[in-house]
Structures are given as C-alpha cells and as structure tokens.
Amino acid sequence: MELSQKTIHEINDLLEKKEVTVTEVTQSVVDRIAAVENKTAAYLNLQTEEALRAAGVIDEKLGEQKKRTPLEGIPYALKDNMCTQGILTTCASKMLYNFNPPYNAHVYDRLIEEGGILLGKTNMDEFAMGSSTENSAYKITHNPWDLNKVPGGSSGGSAVAVAADTAFYTLGSDTGGSIRQPASFCGVVGMKPTYGLVSRYGLVAFASSLDQIGPFTKDVEDCALVLNAIIGHDPKDSTSLNLEKKDYTQTLKQGVKGMKIGVAQAFFGEGLQPEVRKSLEDAIAVYKAMGAEIVDVSFQYLDYALSAYYMISSAEASSNLARYDGIRYGYRAEEYDGLVDLYKKTRSQGFGEEVKRRIMLGTYALSSGYYDAYYKKAMQVRTLIKDDFNQVFDGCDVLLTPTAPTTAFGIGEKTSNPLEMYLTDIYTVPVNIAGIPGISIPCGLDNNGMPIGMQLLGPILSEETLLKVAWAFENEKGLKNLKAPLETEV
Amino acid sequence: MSLTREDVTYVANLARLEFSPDEVTALVDKMGAVLDYAQTLSELDTSAVKATEHVLAVQNVFREDVPKPCLTNEQALANAPESEAGCFKVPRVME
C-alpha cells in the first residue's frame, strides 16, 4: 500500500516509529495528485511545492523534538470558501476570481499551529450552493467511484480528495448537508459538528445560522483526530461556544452495548433507493447484534424541513451576498453607467445561475408583503422541527438514517431541475435547521458499486456519542478507508 | 399562487441583479416551482409558535473597547478593483 492510501492514524504510527519521514508522506500524496487529479479534478488550486518545502521544515523540527502532535506533518486540503492569506480563495465563483484574503480562517490558523501541511484548495458549488459541485464556475469534479457521476456537494472537491487519496483529510462546510451528502456519495466519513463547536471566522458566509465547518476523513478515528484540532472557542466568532476542549479519541472504542438507537419511518419514505434501504436495514441488524437497542421514534414536522430550509438559507444568503458589489474586492464589470449600474452589472456577470436564483428567492422571501408568509413562517417551522428532534432524543441516544435517498447520480442528470436537486438533501437539511451534529459513514455499496452512506444524528454536543456509535459499526464491518476503483477507469 | 414576470423584475432590482427576457422566463418557472413547494409551510398553524433565529441561546458578546491590531490601509485596499489616495474609488454619484 502506498503511503498516500493510509489513514492519518496509520501514518502517525509510522512517523512515531521513525519508519517514514514527513517528506516521504507528502511526496506520496503529491505523486498521487499527479497521477489522478486530471481524472477527478478535486482541486481548484494546488500548493504542492510549498507543501513539500513545509514537509522538509517539519522533518528537521521532528528530528530534534520528542513529541509530535497528531496532525503534525499530515497533508490536508481546505474547501475554497475558507480564507487563506496569500492563497486565492474563490468560493468557485467568478465574483472572487482574484480574491487574496488579508487574513486566515480560524480553522486554517488552528491547522497551521498543529503543523498541518496544506496541499491546496478544493472545488465546490459556487458559494456552497448546490448538491453536486456542478455549480462551480471553474470545473466539474468527478466521483472517483465512477467518473461519470457527481461527487455530491457542495463540498465535492473535499470529499473526492479524501476518497481518491489526494489528501489525508480535508475540511468542508455544511449548511444543509454539504459535508455529509458528498461523504456518502464518495464512500468517506464526513461530519457536521454542532452549530458553534467550530469557529466560522474566515469561512465565507452562505447562511450564517446554518453554516458549520467539519472534517472529511478515511475513517472514524481520523475524524476524531481532526475534530480535536479544529474545535474550540474563538472570540472572533460570536456564535462560537466556550466549552472545555474534549479529546474525542478517548471514548471512541467503548462500544454500543445498551445504547438506544432510534429509527424513524420519516427517513425511509418514498424516493429511497431500494439498495440504500436494504443497506440501512443490514446496519440496524449489525447494531442489534452488537447489543444496542433499536427503538422506533417518530417526527411530526419533518416533511416541512426542506421548505423551511430553502426559505431560511436563501434569505440569509441574499443578505450575506449583498457585500459583493465590485467596490472593495473581487470582480468588477468593465462597462457600466453610474454606481447602481456598476452594482447590477458586476453582480449579474459575477454570480452564476444558481447563486442568482437563491439571491432572488431570498430577496423575495424577505421583501415587504411576503416576509410573514415565507421567512417568518420558516423560522417558526424551525422551532417545530427543533422541538421534534428534542422529543425524539428523549427516547433514544442517536438516530440512524440514510444520508441521502440515493447513491451518486450522473453528471448533468439534475442540473435543469433545481427542485429535484434540492430533494437530494432531504435527509440532511433538518439537522442544520436544528443545529445538531451529524456524521455520515459508508455502510455498503449499491448494485453498481457506488457507496451508500449512513447518517447518525444526536442531540446538541453529542459528538462523542456519534463518533463512538460510528466507530463501532465501522470496526464491526471493516468498512473503512475504502478504495475507489479509480485506476481501472478511463 | 403564481410568480409573474413583474414580480421577478421587481425583486431583481431590489437584489441589484438584472436578467435578459429569457432569464426572466426561466426564473418565473424555476423560482416559481420552489416557491410553490414552500407553500406547504402555510398548511401549518404557527400562530402560537415563536420563531427560532438561532438554535443556541446566542447573546451579544462584548469585549473591552480597547484598540487591537487591524488591517493596514494598504492591506484593506489590496483587493480593490480601483483605489485612489488611500480610498476605494467608485463612479461619481452626484453631479
């Protein structure tokens, strides 16, 4: 097995024993990028020369120091909506084609402190709006399990980089499923932490009350390692929670005996691919066999989550994206007649179709006469959904659901029908509405060999429990660090 | 409820966007479909329900009013499409 194919904790073991150097590890990933990036197109911007240079510096440092931290010298990538000083941050939009941030996102600063090695910035749906990464202004990212299929979105590039071994881990952002759905489509682990657990400072805002940063990894143990590094209070994000730091690896392997795992019919309704259903039923049997108690739980308002989500997220987006006006940074139209025309031309030329549609939806929902019927209504329904989850978690420790109704769909298959695209997030959006954490882990393959994802949800700040329950399944089934059949593809 | 071309043009101006006639047609169709879908929310009686802006009990966070390091004028202008004399440059707004 090439070094690039290993997990973080496997590389950590090798580095501890001094069997490999950080330079060798980094070179392995750089070679892998050279071999497959032309097929997967996960990256918008590569920093491989800088990465190799940084690796050399860390090797020298590690020669002298006794103890290394778990992410020190491990190459990773960031979704291109996290600010990196000196490195372009485009949000996959023409609007920010030349944006060089004057400061770093909090998570990037954290990973610099941990000694992480940045390989580059990954492709995404423009401003994180989409479910397939097809809304990027720059390139189409391909699913390594079938290059004709989408990787999911909006953090598609981050999911693919991990699935194709072109990064050991990546960070994505999840507003309505943008980490969990692509993790599911690409056969990797993806986690959306509790709202407020990870600072959003320097994450280009889409919908501020829903956005949250989280990791993509090759297995659950790696997820715990990355989460350890990125959580924590940040005074620069006023919604960041001030809690004592946890070590999520401590409780990881405690098992699920006696735990209550909830299953709700609402997540197994119409439109669920039969193989996904079957795979989830098998997973439920696995948990039962491991000593967990399976309990039926029910929701009252879940059917309204997607509508509420698109109203809230579009409204917040229309407000957040008002800042792109061609004055202070980013794209500016070449020809215009006066200031208002400069705004209009700049925004109309700089934003892509889906982003403009969301801004329009959001502006409509917030406009006088419609505010109560759409926006306020959606915020009220948000309360109902939040209460729904609270009541469900009174009866179980975690909830087990499919991550998405289907496995990855074909490139171009859903681009002409926005509503159909939105429906691919039907099982992930309620989680952001309630602010609770969720993790997607692989639980099988469909008849075409495409990965199926299982989603585990828990109450606010139940990350420890979620990781424990996820690890137990992964360990029992051995479904970790899955390898996409990339080499055999044309 | 159906969205009209006039609605789209009115909202476009609020959002500082402009669309060709074909784009307006597409928006009436696609935006209209999403709004129709969102109409399901009206089935619920929420008259007694409080709105949730934030899932956590978020409060204003204050700090002492002490200056901290910030961007220099040069850094702040570095990404500007046009700047002059330490300021962002915009087209004339008054005659």
CA neighbor of A418 nearest in space, from A115, A116, A5, A131: A131
Q: What pLDDT, on the 0 to 100 scale, is given for residue B1?
A: 59
Asked if A99's CB is within 8 angstroms of B88's CB, the reply is no
CA neighbor of A134 nearest in space, from A462, A424, A467: A424
| Tokens linked to A450 | 């495409």
Q: What pLDDT, on the 0 to 100 scale, is given for residue B2?
A: 82
Residue-wise pLDDT for A198-241, tens only, equals 999 999 999 999 999 999 999 999 999 999 999 999 999 999 99
Asked if A380's CB is within 8 angstroms of B40's CB, the reply is no
| Tokens linked to A47 | 């920093």
Smallest Cα distance from B47 to chain A, Å: 9
Residue A439 covered by a domain:
no
Q: In A, which residues are within 8 Å of B44 by CB distance?
A: 301, 304, 377, 380-381, 384
Q: In B, residues 32-91, which contact A (CB 8 Å cutoff)?
A: 33-35, 37-38, 40-42, 44, 46, 49-56, 58, 60-61, 63, 71, 75-76, 78-82, 88, 90-91
| Tokens linked to A290 | 């491991």
Asked if A241's CB is within 8 angstroms of B16's CB, the reply is no
Residue A232 covered by a domain:
yes
Q: In A, which residues are within 8 Å of B54 by CB distance?
A: 209, 239, 435
Residue-wise pLDDT for A404-437, tens only, equals 999 999 999 999 888 889 899 999 999 999 999 9
For residue A23, the SS3 value is: helix
Residues 6+ apart with CB under 8 A from A261: A284, A287, A292, A293, A294, A295, A396, A397, A398, A399, A400, A469
For residue A16, give the CATH number of its domain: 3.90.1300.10
Nearest beta carbon to residue A339 from set B56, B63, B91: B91
Q: What pLDDT, on the 0 to 100 scale, is given for residue B61?
A: 83
Q: What pLDDT, on the 0 to 100 scale, is given for residue A270?
A: 85
CA neighbor of A470 nearest in space, from A335, A326, A286, A309: A286
pLDDT classification of A489: cutoffs 50, 70, 90: very low
For range A182-207, the mean pLDDT = 98
Alpha-carbon distance A344 to B52, whole Å?
A: 33
For domain B5-43, give the fold: Histone, subunit A (1.10.20)
Phi, psi (deg, nearest 5) at residue A433: -60, -40
pLDDT classification of A8: cutoffs 50, 70, 90: very high
Complex ipTM: 0.95
Alpha-carbon distance A225 to A9, whole Å?
A: 8
- Tally of CB atoms within 10 A around A81: 32
Residue A382 covered by a domain:
no
Q: How far apart are the first and last CA of chain B?
A: 44
Residue-wise pLDDT for A245-295, tens only, equals 899 999 999 999 999 999 999 999 888 999 999 999 999 999 999 999 999
Asked if B11's CB is within 8 angstroms of A380's CB, the reply is no
Nearest beta carbon to residue B56 from set A195, A329, A343: A195
pLDDT classification of A487: cutoffs 50, 70, 90: low
Given a cut of 70, is residue A488 above it in pLDDT? Answer: no
Q: In B, which residues are within 8 Å of A299 by CB distance?
A: none
Nearest beta carbon to residue A419 from set B37, B50, B80: B37
Supply the residues of A annotated as catalytic.
Answer: 79, 154, 178
Alpha-carbon distance A208 to A366, whole Å?
A: 16
| Tokens linked to A391 | 């009541």
Q: Let me know: does A216 contact A199? Beta carbons within 8 Å.
A: no
Q: What pLDDT, on the 0 to 100 scale, is given for residue A67?
A: 84
Question: Closest residue of B to A343, CA-based?
Answer: B16
pLDDT classification of A65: cutoffs 50, 70, 90: confident
Q: What pLDDT, on the 0 to 100 scale, is given for residue A140?
A: 98
H/E run at residue A75: strand A75-79
Domain of residue A59: give its range: 3-242+474-488
CA atoms within 13 A on the CB side of A348: 20
Count Cβ neighbours within 10 Å for each residue of A21-31 and write b for 16 or more, e otherwise: bbbebbbbbbe
Alpha-carbon distance A357 to B4, whole Å?
A: 15
Q: In B, residues 23-42, which contact A (CB 8 Å cutoff)?
A: 27, 30-31, 33-35, 37-38, 40-42
Structural domains of chain A, count: 1
Residue-wise pLDDT for A449-472, tens only, equals 999 999 999 999 999 999 999 999
> Cα–Cα distances in Å, from A243 out to A40, A193, A221, A225, A390?
39, 14, 22, 18, 21
Asked if A435's CB is within 8 angstroms of B55's CB, the reply is yes
> Cα–Cα distances in Å, from A190 out to A170, A180, A187, A207, A456?
10, 5, 9, 20, 11
For range A63-83, the mean pLDDT = 92
Q: Let me know: does A185 contact A159? Beta carbons within 8 Å.
A: yes
Q: In B, which residues are within 8 Å of A311 by CB distance?
A: 38, 41
Alpha-carbon distance B41 to A374, whole Å?
A: 8
Q: What pLDDT, on the 0 to 100 scale, is given for residue A490?
A: 41
Per-residue pLDDT of chain B (95 residues; tens, 9 = 90+): 589 999 999 999 999 999 999 999 999 999 999 999 999 999 999 999 999 988 887 778 888 999 999 999 999 999 999 999 999 999 988 77
Based on DSSP, count helices (H) and strands (E) in chain B, helices before strands.
Answer: 3, 2
H/E run at residue A343: helix A339-350
Asked if B91's CB is within 8 angstroms of A239's CB, the reply is no
Residue A435's region, left for phi above 0, alpha for psi from -120 to 50, else beta, is left
Q: In A, which residues are within 8 Å of B61 by CB distance?
A: 235, 238
For range A364-388, the mean pLDDT = 95
CA neighbor of A190 nearest in space, from A199, A177, A202, A201: A177
Asked if B93's CB is within 8 angstroms of A301's CB, the reply is no
Smallest Cα distance from A16 to chain B, Å: 39
Alpha-carbon distance A319 to B12, whole Å?
A: 14
Residue A233 covered by a domain:
yes
Indicate the pairing of strand A293-297 with strand A260-264: parallel
